[in-house]
A and B are shown apart, each in its own frame.
Chain A
Amino acid sequence: MSLFNSDDSIKLSVMKSLLKYILFISAAFAGILVMQGCKKSWLDPEPLSFFSPSNAYQDAEGMRAALVACARNARIEYYGDNPPILTEMLFSEVSVDGTTDKSGPAQDLNLLITPDNASEFDDADHAKIGWYWKEGYRAIKYANTVITRIDDAKYESAEERNAILGAAYFHRALRYYRLVHQFGDVPAVMKEYSEPKLDFFSVKRDVILQKMKEDLEFAQEWVPDAVNKGEVSKGAVSHLLTKVNLALGNFDDAITSATNVIDGGGYALMREPFGATKKNVIWDLHRPENKSIAENKEGLYMIIDRFGDGGYYTGTTTLTGGMRVMRNAIPYWGSNINTPTGKKGTNDGTSGDLDLVQSDLIGRGIGRCRPTPYSQFDIWDDTSDLRHAEGNWMRMEDLAYNEPQLKQSNDPSYLKPLQLHNASGGLLCKDTIRSWFEWPQYKLYVPDDENNPMQGGHTDWYLFRLAETYLLRAEAYFWKGDLASAATDINEVRTRAGAAETTADQVNMGMILDERARELFYEEPRKTELTRIAYLFALTGQAAENGKTYSLENFSDNNYYYDRIIAKNAFYRDGIHTIHGDQYTISPYHVLWPVPTDAIQANSNGIVNQNKGYTGYERNVPALDQIPED
């Protein structure tokens, strides 16, 4: 302290006081901040990076964005690994699950199709039944958001409002049409819920369908055809209305609504080579680059999938990398195929010493979607049919032994066509279910610039196509007994593909289903359509081509659906075993899928009915015969 004189010491003490003063001020300031913290508005939440319903659904743009959610939801059915549409196909005559190296995939349907599994599994190894339930109702929620809030937003005109409402009705009706044919009587949710509700009850299928018919009739009036591809068109509305009319047994209305599309002026079957490819009309029709061009008049409702939209977020995972149709529906040809000398014959890689990279032509298939003898052979009796013509259609013999090791060992088979048998008749394929079958290359070949080896890349897909409208009208004529008109409509589709015309005396339901299988493989929801038809046989009592008649009384025990599959699908009929020892089975009650357990359990104050044949059916109460108000 001796360094300081008394002045310094005074200065020091002043400085200290000052410092204290500053500190006191700071402390007081902190106190004020805390006071600020006590104000009520201090605790108001401030969402910064997401929209809320009140600031988003206020104009036509907001409403259209909600419709985009519906459109995008429709895409997932065809998208990614084991897309749900395969489940629709394996519950029919056209295919089975060919994933033979484990238990889990839907092969032994009697064993595996349970409410628990439907609830628990939404992965590539299992049937996507729970997915259809959950995503169906999610899309209904998206549509209900628009329907419930339709008058909260401002529009340019009543036309604009009604067109948006009509498009929302279309999406809702599309999901209910599917749900009632997958699950039968289901809860009818007709508005957006913003708080929990736990007392839902199932509503009768035809009650829901009747409501959808009314909604679609409104939509048919207001939704225009001049829309972007990917949006709901008037043609799509009338096409769906045709299906609903058929499902209700309103055959005259079905003919009218189908005619609205066919004669509407906006649509026509493609009959000549066209587009960027101009190879043949069938090839051209299914090329990714041709599906949504203006020249193509056949698509009524398109799923859009092009590179660069940022993937599809499903809620848990982001799907990228396109449709993956080649992975799913082309044989697992890279394995299990030996040369006649017993060596591994094929290689599905893309690098290394490959002289022939077959993966670049057909991708690396895993044979998940395994066509049946019915869809590979039985329905192809017309050699002039372009849908089965060489180049459009691929056979295993069109592939070659390309394993590089064969070259090194001078195997005589190298780069020669594949053979199923050797000279003495011995089988050369270790797993003919998964690795040896034929496929429609014109539909499944989708170049892939994201996956290596290719799995099937980005492409638009036909959800509704005019060819099906003809077949639906043909069906309506059939139910009415007007077989000549039915034949005329079927021939529109047949002649376009270069196939011979059919005649009225050949028309029956099975024959229409054959034509659908030829034309709509990997497009139509086959199980939904078969169940709809099974309902119609039961409703009308009309005899089927197998001579049997059916009744709604014992629908889950005796129906056209099961009889048709057993007649045509050899896997289920003959109880074929996979190499893993699992047997292909199916039962009449599979005409309706099990309602997933979680859908029933979480509805603790009400009862969602279970279908006959599944655990929990005994808890059922009679389904409602009108749609509840709340």
Chain B
Amino acid sequence: MSLSLSLNAQFVVKGKVTDKSNNEPLPGVTVSLQGSSSGTSTSSTGTYSITLPNGNGALVFSNVGYSNQTIKVNGKQSIDVQLAAGLTPSLSEVVVVGYGTQRKKDLTGAVGQVKATQLENENPSSVQDVLRGNVSGLNISQTNSASAKGGGDLLVRGKSSINAGTSPLIVVDGVIYYGQLSDINPNDISTIDVLKDASSAAVFGAKSASGVVLITTKKGTSDEPQITLNSNVGYGEVANNETLYDGPGFVSWRTDVQNSRFIDHSPYEYDDPRNLPSDVSLDDWLAYDNSSGDPVDVWLTRLGMRPVEIANYKDGITTNWYDMMFQKGFRQDHTISLSGKKNDVSYYMSVGYTNNEGVIVGDEFTTLRTRLNLEGKISKYLSVGINMQFADRDESSVPVNWGQMVNSSPYGKLYNDDTATFRDSPNDDLGNNSNPFLDIAYTSRLQKTNSLFGTLYAKGELPAGFSYQVNFTPHFDFYRYFNGVSADHPSYRVRKGIATRTDRTTYDWQIDNILKWDRTFGEHKFNVTLLANAEKYQSWETQVDNEGFDPNDNLSYHNIGAGIKPIAKSDDQVSTGNALMARLNYTLMERYLLTLSYRRDGYSAFGQGNRTADFPAVAVGWLFTNEKFMENATWLNSGKLRFSWGINGNRDIGRYVALSELTTGKYQYITPGGEVIPVSQLWVSRMSNPGLQWEKTTSYNIGFDFSVLNNRLGGSIDVYEKSTSDLLIKRSLPTVIGFDDVMANLGEVQNRGLEVTLNSTNINRKNFSWRTTASFWLNRNKIVHLYGPVNVLDAEGKVIGQVENDDPDNKWFIGHDLSEIWNQKILGIWQADEAEQASEYGVFPGDFKVEDVDGDKKYSDADRQFMGFTTPRFQWTLRNEFTLFRDFDVSFMLYSSWGQKATYNEAKNNRGFQDRQNSYTFPYWTPDNPINDYARLYSSNGGASFDVYRETSFIRLNNVSLAYSLPENIVKRATFESAKIYVNVTNAALYAPDWDYWDPEFRNRNDEGEISTAIPPRYYTLGVNVTF
């Protein structure tokens, strides 16, 4: 073996690192040999010891919030260093790029980095929380984030696909991760890097078009074993309340409902008979419908109130449904970790337990997560390691059906007359109103997922600057969903209970072979990475449903066979992929940077002949401050220009969408003998597309990184253009063909944008420092092509030209934003003096006045117009961090989106059955309240199919946190390394000038276009972080 290049001598350097301003020792400073990834960090007393191959080279000392120092070793065995505090992230920091790391200085692409350790005081409870508002160009929706589980969907630099997925690729510790983000404990995260431009992401080829998020977990560094305990408790509550009518408010609202609904009602017919004006006698009033008896009974019956409501009204009993739906949900999260590095072994292990109650009664999420990162050096040239995480996720909770609170009358009843069992319907109106507690009371559910994700790797140093690494990455997911609804539930009473059992096992694996070559020849630095990868995904799912349990359903889903209507289903899937990748990083004279990469990907979901595709990328960088002519420009500490181009792919579609599929199902025939026989049906439910291929995104990125004023102000500016072609699109077909659509590659979508990030150290004194990070970004989206040109024919059928058609069915228009609203436009409300014009459209005063563009008195596509966007026009974030008296850290973070619109059909005041339920207290039009933005109660849409839109621009104060680090003398006495107490508030405040219904960001639209509103939570947390 030719390992004779081995290093004979070893050279040990020791020393101490202190803060320049006060001579206090600095713990946790990274000490590394320049140009190498190995290093150590200083102990609690600021001392370090590092073993070098020889006495040459230079040591780099870096620490968060301090400017780096580089000191040549020159044979010295003791080097003490003083670091100057307060200088913001420097270009020497290391960022993770695909299949390796790079100094920020050498980057040619657009990469955003978040140091999770810096956010400890804010106690992020999910990966999404770590990222939210901290990376420009990355949007994280509040979808699902309202639940106890938390979360949200990630979107990098705008939506580039129409029907394929747009979630970025997740990479954990260098390997692609297909699991759930919620299985990663945020406490285990060291840094997250987001690759935004094509060149950076291109090394992930076919999976990278939506960006790449690289998560790096913590590793052991210190010689001494370190135990860290992070423990916090807190609670969540509803952040913005939305009021419902109380008892008296409900009755007066219902009066107005009936007045609006019964157009031709008699004077005061629906008003309180005890307060009639003098010109309407009680007898006249009763005579309207020939009533007799108690006028109050008559009145309330006219209002549609049910006997139970009338009785409670008379007794003055109301029920506050709202307060019963929401709670102060207790939350706790505890993680303990052990880490260290001894001789040739580094280790990090942690176990974390999270139990969150949601703000909705009954909502709960529990997870237990463990992680083991272990690396051992078995020889000077060979290391083996394992990174393994296990998570046990429990999502069994059944929340209260809070949507029913609007349907439940304040005069309804929670319980039956026995005061113990839940009333089927609080208002005794089963058709519209069910008791919000029924689901909790009668559902038993087990919904658990166990996942195991790990990488086993070996990496070896080879001669001549080569190194080789092999990863084997298995991922298991075991999912169980068992649900039983008891026969005591009124909706399932006659069905004698229903139950379902779903089991799904997923197993996917990947193998990476990575060969690297890292060499410097004088002014030329080369770094080459070669990759060969294979992967396979397999899943097996079984679902059994049953109902009609006999003799009873006490065993629920535990004995699924006891029912009389079993339905069994299964779905197994498999897909395979492979990849080859090569990348060259070349640096000339520490000034000129070049990155070339090329990847070939294969995936089984695509059509025959199109299963592989190639993804090249090029990027260059120029560190112009290293040029001679810049030597005198001392105000500019560093400056770099970057340019990149590349092609990324998207394969995020179903595994079999290229194939024709037959759907099966059951039907019955009756034999001449009268016997019922089950028969199977088969029909083609999906049209095949043998030519289906990758979606390709070609992007340009120009970036500028700078640092000025003695490194006190730094930042970067990026502009980009992304063009996505061969869009994976569910293309609409003429329905006469029998298919609604077919998955196809069509068209082109363009995204263009600007991202600016600034970091500054505003004040840096001994007892007070203030740092600010701000970012601003915008993205513009445009459909360039859809289905290609078609011939235009004249009357004789001759081709007279070509035209490319829009897709009005899907509301996609060439030259317009994917998110552009095309709809009928509201001009206001028909007012009382416009009754005649309103009647031409079949509507009445108080209904929305919809613009009739072509004046034909009918509403059609001809009346639709472009009316703004559902995505933001620009976004910004602002983070401020203060350190007071060295022991107090205070920070707050704001983020903001502007210009986006959402539907607000609540303004139509015609949802549900207003004559049978309660309502939120929306404004409404009446002849006496002739407003122009909300319709009358129970309004009519007429022949128009319009939506009401409102802007949802907002500024959110997303986090305020305060941390206190215990002074060293106290800590030392208690034998701690360090101890910190923190408090923080998440979603502390919201400013939304044009929106007044729950929270605009929690307004979700699913793929089917259905709108849902989630309850916005606010969290208060108190925690400690102790290191032993």
Contact = CB atoms under 8 A, between A and B. Distances in A.
Interface of A: 16, 19-20, 23, 26-27, 30-31, 33-34, 36-38, 42-53, 56-57, 62, 64-66, 68-69, 71-72, 75, 101-104, 108, 110-112, 114-117, 119-120, 133-134, 137-138, 140-142, 144-145, 186-187, 189, 192-198, 200, 226, 228-231, 292-294, 302, 304-313, 315, 334-335, 338, 340-344, 347-349, 351-353, 364, 366, 403-405, 421-422, 424-428, 430, 448-453, 460, 577, 579-583, 596-599, 601-606, 608, 615-616
B942 A111 contact: yes
Contacts of B739: 141
Contacts of B570: 49
Contact of A43 (B602, B685, B915): B602
A76 to B, nearest CB: 12
Interface string B916-952: 1000000000000000000000111111010000000
Contacts of A42: 534, 576, 578, 602, 604
Contacts of B805: 604
A233 to B, nearest CB: 11
Contacts of B604: 42-46
A141 B494 contact: no
Which of B263, B264, B425 has the most CB atoms of chain A within a 10 A radius of its CB?
A: B263
Contact of A116 (B663, B681, B861): B861
B842 A310 contact: no
Given A138-B738, A342-B291, A20 B655 contact: no
B567 interface: yes
B605 A45 contact: yes
A421 B289 CA distance: 10
Contact of A31 (B431, B470, B655, B673): B470
22 contacts: A19-B378, A37-B535, A50-B664, A53-B660, A53-B662, A65-B679, A111-B841, A114-B943, A145-B683, A187-B734, A228-B672, A293-B674, A308-B565, A315-B685, A334-B431, A342-B301, A348-B430, A349-B424, A349-B430, A405-B307, A579-B261, A602-B732
B808 A34 contact: no
Give the dominant DSSP class at A's interface.
Answer: loop
A68 B567 contact: no
A311 B565 CA distance: 11
A108 B430 CA distance: 29
Given A33-B534, A133-B735, A310-B567, 13 more contacts: A30-B472, A42-B576, A65-B664, A72-B681, A104-B941, A114-B858, A114-B943, A197-B733, A229-B671, A310-B666, A335-B304, A452-B490, A599-B735
B943 A230 contact: no
Interface in B827-880: 841-842, 844, 856, 858-862
B679 A117 contact: no
A37 B575 contact: no
Contact of A27 (B458, B567, B664, B737): B458
Contacts of B670: 228-230, 292, 302, 304, 460
Contact of A309 (B264, B678, B685): B678
Contacts of B287: 426
A301 to B, nearest CB: 12
Nearest to A50: B661
B814 interface: no
Interface stretch (B72-80, B292-300, B591-599): B292-300
B506 interface: no
B644 to A, nearest CB: 28
A301 B735 CA distance: 27
A30 B513 contact: yes
Contacts of A115: 860
Given A36-B534, A50-B656, A68 B384 contact: no
B945 A428 contact: no
B807 interface: yes
B981 interface: no
Interface of B: 261-264, 286-287, 289-293, 297-298, 301-302, 304, 306-307, 310-311, 378-379, 382, 384, 416-417, 424-425, 428, 430-431, 458, 468, 470, 472, 490-491, 493-495, 511, 513, 532-535, 564-565, 567, 570-578, 580, 602-605, 611-612, 655-656, 658-674, 676-685, 687-689, 731-740, 742, 744, 787, 790-791, 805, 807-809, 841-842, 844, 856, 858-862, 910, 913, 915-916, 938-943, 945
Contacts of A424: 290
A118 to B, nearest CB: 11
B574 A309 contact: no
Contacts, number: 376
A222 B73 CA distance: 99
Given A42-B578, A601-B809, A349 B428 contact: yes
Contact of B736 (A23, A57, A187): A187
Given A30-B511, A48-B574, A307-B565, A71 B684 contact: no
Contacts of B577: 37, 43
A114 B602 CA distance: 48
Given A137-B737, A309-B667, A313-B663, A68 B680 contact: yes
Contacts of A197: 733-734, 737
A20 B382 contact: yes
Given A42-B576, A66-B683, A294 B673 contact: yes
A208 to B, nearest CB: 12
Nearest to B302: A430
Nearest to B664: A51
Contacts of A425: 290
Given A294-B673, A577-B263, A111 B943 contact: yes
A343 to B, nearest CB: 6
Given A115-B860, A342-B289, A364-B431, A351 B301 contact: no
B860 A114 contact: yes
Contacts of A421: 290
Nearest to B661: A50
B808 A601 contact: yes
A494 B732 CA distance: 50
B290 A599 contact: no
B577 to A, nearest CB: 7
Contacts of B683: 66, 69, 141-142, 145
A352 B301 contact: no
A534 to B, nearest CB: 24
Contacts of B665: 72, 310, 312-313
Contacts of A71: 667, 681
A312 B668 CA distance: 11
Nearest to B685: A315
Given A37-B534, A198-B734, A425-B290, A347 B809 contact: no
Contacts of B263: 577, 580-581
A102 B417 CA distance: 33
A294 B672 contact: yes
B668 A309 contact: yes
Contact of A598 (B605, B678, B688, B732): B732
B154 to A, nearest CB: 28
B290 A16 contact: no
B861 A597 contact: yes
Which of B379, B668, B676 has the most CB atoms of chain A within a 10 A radius of its CB?
A: B668
A110 B685 CA distance: 36
Contacts of B494: 448-452
Contact of A452 (B262, B472, B493, B532): B493
A344 B306 contact: yes
A315 to B, nearest CB: 8
Contact of B292 (A66, A112, A341, A344): A341
Contacts of B684: 53, 141, 145, 192
Contacts of B656: 45, 47, 50
A196 B292 contact: no
A49 B573 contact: yes
Contact of B734 (A104, A200, A364, A451): A200
B511 A34 contact: yes
Nearest to A305: B668
B732 A427 contact: no
Contacts of A27: 458, 468, 470, 513
